[in-house]
Chain A
Amino acid sequence: EIVMTQSPATLSVSPGERATLSCRASRSISRSLAWYQQKPGQAPRLLIYGASTRATGIPARFSGSGSGTEFTLTITSLQSEDFAVYYCQQYNSWSFGPGTKVDIK
């Protein structure tokens, strides 16, 4: 079983600032890593797959990096609509991380 961890649990950021979210896998997953955004009362939305490829329609301010066991999601210049919970997921066996909540500072 591959266990995913995320840090921090909560990230307080001011609009216009950068947010950096971390995700770690318990063993190497190569680049089989996706990031999802979820807003209250909504289904998750795919942001990034293959660790660094933006999904269709995702703004360029979202970027992903990493491989193996360490991954990062960066959101440059946070917009009001970006305040949400972000989950990483490895899709070798589909487990999710516990999420990082990005809220307004």
Chain B
Amino acid sequence: QVQLVESGGGVVQPGRSRRLSCAASGFTFSAYAMHWVRQAPGKGLEWVAVIAYDGSNENYADSVKGRFTISRDNSKQTLDLQMNTLRPEDTAVYYCAGASGFWGPFDSWGQGTLVTVSS
């Protein structure tokens, strides 16, 4: 069955960096666009970034543009999110999600990993 497992969360100081990973299994990862979505504690969902199935196209929310970088390795079936210059407002559960099209709904989700930005 489809499985997405995020890792890399934890407590990080403001201004520092953190790298999240998402391991995919149970589906043809290389055929799917992949996204990161975050959810601050007690808040709603915020889309963060997308990468095309072959890595040829990326897009970012304005709130993270220039600080976060999404990448993927189809040979390893992994998705990453490099987060630099972290701010307290980046504190959230980060979900990876898969979509069968670059502009398509998110039909599979991981369980999320919590990133807390605090000194």
Number of cross-chain contacts by CB at 8 Å: 54
B62 cross-chain contacts in A, Cβ below 8 A: 1
- Checking A1, A32, A43, A91 against B112 with a beta-carbon cut-off of 8 angstroms, the contacting residue is A43
Majority-rule SS of A interface residues: loop
Does B46 touch A at the CB level, under 8 Å? yes
Does A98 touch B at the CB level, under 8 Å? yes
B 70-119 contacts with A by CB, 8 A: 95, 99, 103-107, 109-112
Interface string of A1-26 (1 = CB under 8 A from B): 10000000000000000000000000
Chain B interfacial residues counted at CB < 8 A: 20
Docked-complex contact B95 and A43, CB < 8 angstroms: yes
Binding site for A on B (CB under 8 A): 35, 37, 44-47, 50, 59, 62, 95, 99, 103-107, 109-112
